[in-house]
Chains A and B, each alone.
Chain A
Amino acid sequence: MFIIKNKFVFLTISAFIVLGSIVAILVYGLRLGIDFKGGTLLEVNYTNGRPETSLIAPVLASHKISDAIVQNVGESGLSIKSSPLLDTERVVLVNDLSLGGKYPLTQTTFNSIGPSVGHELTQKAIVAIIIVVIAIVLYIAFAFRGVSEPVSSWKYGFIAIATLVHDVAIPSGVFALLGHFHGAEVDTLFVVALLTVLGISVSDTIVVFDRIRENLKNRIAPTFSETVGRSLNQTFVRSINTSLTVILVLLSLYLFGPSTTKNFALVLIVGMFFGTYSSIFVASPLLVIVEQSQAKKALKHKKK
């Protein structure tokens, strides 16, 4: 009941975090990776010591690559990101990067993505998110079709979506900050991570709603808000424990997993944390608010 009584406090906290995330996205923007905008990523590993970055710049200039971002990777690696390169250009470039054989190297990664692929991916990502959201509203409306009193099953669906916006906005905001301060880039995995957060966060919300549905049927409390409050008391240990275990796994993926999935794990950790937070502190309070405003309207009708 603590949560329901203080619902406006928690909703305000959430509203501030979401607002902050949106501001971060608007101010810093999401740094798009080559998956989306097209481009080339070339990574080489110097087997016998890495040349100074200042020596690399003239090589790139001689290839008329002006938009390259050069970064050191690990002990002896070097990564170069630029606009799309042809494979023939790459061969010469890799050769020249050894500075006439003075710095022997091996090429570890070459990834060149044309702009049209990036465009297609952007479209697909948007389509995927829209379809997932629609499918989830429909599914929840279907799964909760039995509980039309006092809040119709459609409203459960839309409240779930409201919490989803919350759960997706926050990791995106975190990523905008990461992109600004650490150069993290939005790639396909980021989209996959967001969609996974959608799926798991909704399943978390459904578990709470399922309990409310059951308790409404059994009429365990006189009022709707009290029923919701008791349902929360019954489910929050489970909610916290399950997301804790998933977060533990993700932490292990983040700390020990391959470098390619590090940011992916981070987005999921943030998403899971706020997904659990929202199913307890956002979804259920919203449900109570919807019910209360409905009741007020019904009262006005009666008076008339």
Chain B
Amino acid sequence: MWKKRIWALIVVIIGLALGLYVYKSEPVNGHAPAKPAILTGFFNRHPNPFKLGLDLSGGTHLVYEADVSKIPSGQVSSSMEVLRNVVEARVNSKAVSGVLGVLEPLIQIKEGGIGAAGSEQLIVDLPGVTDVTQAEDTIGQTPTLDFRIKSDKEAAPINATVGPDGKVVLPEVDPYANYVSTGLTGRYLKTAAVQFDQNTGSPYVALTFDADGAQLFDAVTKANLGKTVAIFLDNKVISAPTVQSEITGGQAIITGSFSPQQAKALADSLSYGALPVPIHLLSSELIGPSLGAAAMHDGVKAGIIGFLVIALFLILWYRLPGVVAVVALGLYVVMTLAIFKLLHVTLSSAAIAGFIISIGVAVDANVLIFERIKEELHGGRTTSDAITAGFDRAWLSIRDSNISTMITAVILFSIFGGTFVRGFAITLLLGVLVSMLSAILITRLFLRSVATKDGTRATNFLFGSGFSSAKSKAVLKK
């Protein structure tokens, strides 16, 4: 008995610690909490705010359709991955330069899935961005890959000036400014892949041109032996190899001192130029930040009021077990919120709704257990026997009924990929799972640890429910 009580106390303490974590790891007004304390010091260094969906934080949501009709079916997912990386790089580069105020862009590939054959979509979430046009411009530009050689013409004369200290100052010159296009562009590239040198193990990028490209490349390399051919992506030099021999057959390699990751990035960029996945905007959504904040505020308010109403009902109807259930539910809420934080589950208003419903499901499990225990008490068992038997019988009902809710959540999750429906499905699924655990483990532990002496009037009252005490019906039946 006392062992159970100590365990129950430990569980409550763990719950309080989790609650502290959930609360304290939330930055106050976007800043880490300022209070210097031993405990909060840890959270200051490790803030872990809830990840809010666009509808709560405000921002831009863009859905693009990628035209993959010209891509062999085996390469669709890899080219979508490349597309995603390039778009992410674009958005990030703009974010760094401060053009787009993106905090944490989320770019997802939404596969066609069931019922939407052949349609691949790219979903771009830009929290905090309210300029849709600029966002679209950043993403929608067509990337260009081309090979350039140094112009025969002399570069423009450099205007050197003499600085105040008497030294000659040369203006900064872009060494590739006078390179001209050879006509060889990404249009002719068939593949670009990372490979590794057999001897040194260093990575390089292998290029394969198509037939027309091979001819062009042959001509370009023949004419420029010993010279530099610069490879431009979006008008920026990404590599400038020196031509060492005439290359026929359309195979080329780009070597350089890159890490495997850099080589991969380069190959991806080249592939993207080579495998143009044309995209066009299907839908765009802009949520003003004030609207998001209001939705967030209302969602939290609804959750708290809902919880309080349930707590009141449980305590009034189920008395002592009701109090136990409220404590267990509190722990359930804290645990689930902590899981949302740790797994970085994106919370949208639909996701919050899913979580609020899962609170209802958690209550359901507790009610099932209490009703069962009450029946067992009516049947004349002792309190602790009734608790054991009640749990055993209620478990089957809880399991079977929750599995059907989980089946629904899993189906929602897998069919509506990439949308806010997923958020709802995830929070509902996690919520139902945790609620089963909390009902079976925590409520049982707590109930056992508060089980009082049998047969007293107090026990009969505390374990009774509604308008009847625990024993009254049993007496009537006899």
Interaction A to B:
yes
**CB proximity of A279 to chain B, nearest CB, Å:** 10
**CB proximity of B284 to chain A, nearest CB, Å:** 5
Contact B317 A259 (CB under 8 A): no
CB-contacts of B128-151 with A (<8 A) = 132-133, 136
Stretch at the interface among B86-94, B172-180, B236-244, B350-358: B350-358
**CB proximity of B172 to chain A, nearest CB, Å:** 37
Query: At the interface, yes or no: A70 with Cβ under 8 Å from chain B?
Result: no
Contact B424 A210 (CB under 8 A): no
By a CB distance below 8 angstroms, the chain A residues around B393 are 214
Contact A245 B408 (CB under 8 A): no
Contact B421 A253 (CB under 8 A): no
Contact B306 A87 (CB under 8 A): no
**CB proximity of B402 to chain A, nearest CB, Å:** 7
Stretch at the interface among A7-15, A24-32, A135-143: A135-143
Contact B415 A131 (CB under 8 A): yes
Given A87, A88, A246, A261, which contacts B349 in the complex, CB threshold below 8 Å?
Answer: A261
Contact B397 A207 (CB under 8 A): yes
Stretch at the interface among A56-64, A168-176, A197-205, A296-304: A197-205
Query: At the interface, yes or no: A82 with Cβ under 8 Å from chain B?
Result: no
**CB proximity of A247 to chain B, nearest CB, Å:** 8
Contact A206 B420 (CB under 8 A): no
Alpha-carbon separation in the docked complex, A91 to B136 (Å): 13
Query: At the interface, yes or no: A116 with Cβ under 8 Å from chain B?
Result: yes
Given B290, B296, B408, which contacts A196 in the complex, CB threshold below 8 Å?
Answer: B408
Contact B371 A132 (CB under 8 A): no
Contact A210 B420 (CB under 8 A): no
Contact B411 A249 (CB under 8 A): no
By a CB distance below 8 angstroms, the chain A residues around B352 are 261
**CB proximity of A271 to chain B, nearest CB, Å:** 11
CB-contacts of B96-135 with A (<8 A) = 113-116, 119, 132-133
Alpha-carbon separation in the docked complex, A189 to B55 (Å): 13
Query: At the interface, yes or no: B11 with Cβ under 8 Å from chain A?
Result: no
**CB proximity of A94 to chain B, nearest CB, Å:** 11
Stretch at the interface among B1-9, B257-265, B297-305: B297-305
Residue of A nearest to B285 (CB): A111
By a CB distance below 8 angstroms, the chain B residues around A206 are 397, 400-401, 404
Q: Chain A, 96-132, contact with B by CB distance < 8 Å: what is the 0/1 string? A: 0000000000111111111011001001101110011
CB-contacts of B341-370 with A (<8 A) = 349-350, 352-353, 356-357, 359-361, 363-364, 367-368
Query: At the interface, yes or no: A192 with Cβ under 8 Å from chain B?
Result: yes
**CB proximity of A179 to chain B, nearest CB, Å:** 20
Query: At the interface, yes or no: B42 with Cβ under 8 Å from chain A?
Result: no
Contact A195 B400 (CB under 8 A): no
Query: At the interface, yes or no: A54 with Cβ under 8 Å from chain B?
Result: no
Query: At the interface, yes or no: B288 with Cβ under 8 Å from chain A?
Result: yes
Query: At the interface, yes or no: A293 with Cβ under 8 Å from chain B?
Result: no
A252-B306 in contact given A206-B397, A245-B367 (Cβ < 8 Å): yes
Contact A252 B420 (CB under 8 A): no
Query: At the interface, yes or no: A66 with Cβ under 8 Å from chain B?
Result: no
Residue of A nearest to B60 (CB): A110
By a CB distance below 8 angstroms, the chain B residues around A241 are 317, 367, 371
Residue of A nearest to B287 (CB): A109
Given B133, B309, B359, B405, which contacts A88 in the complex, CB threshold below 8 Å?
Answer: B133
**CB proximity of B191 to chain A, nearest CB, Å:** 31
Query: At the interface, yes or no: A223 with Cβ under 8 Å from chain B?
Result: no
CB-contacts of A200-226 with B (<8 A) = 200, 202-204, 206-207, 210-211, 214
By a CB distance below 8 angstroms, the chain A residues around B402 are 203
Q: Chain A, 235-259, contact with B by CB distance < 8 Å: what is the 0/1 string? A: 1011001101110111111011111
A259-B401 in contact given A87-B136, A123-B116 (Cβ < 8 Å): no
By a CB distance below 8 angstroms, the chain B residues around A244 are 313
Residue of B nearest to A143 (CB): B400
Q: Chain B, 363-387, contact with A by CB distance < 8 Å: what is the 0/1 string? A: 1100110010001000000000000
By a CB distance below 8 angstroms, the chain A residues around B65 are 116
Contact A207 B404 (CB under 8 A): no
Q: Chain A, 128-168, contact with B by CB distance < 8 Å: what is the 0/1 string? A: 10011001100110010000000000000000000000000
4 pairs of A and B residues whose beta carbons are closest in the complex: A199-B408, A246-B360, A203-B401, A257-B302
Known: A109-B288, A250-B360, A255-B305. 4 other contacts (CB 8 A): A139-B407, A206-B400, A207-B368, A253-B356
A-B contact pairs, 17 of them (CB 8 A): A87-B133, A87-B281, A107-B288, A108-B290, A113-B283, A127-B415, A136-B404, A195-B411, A199-B405, A199-B409, A200-B357, A200-B361, A206-B401, A210-B401, A252-B306, A256-B301, A260-B295
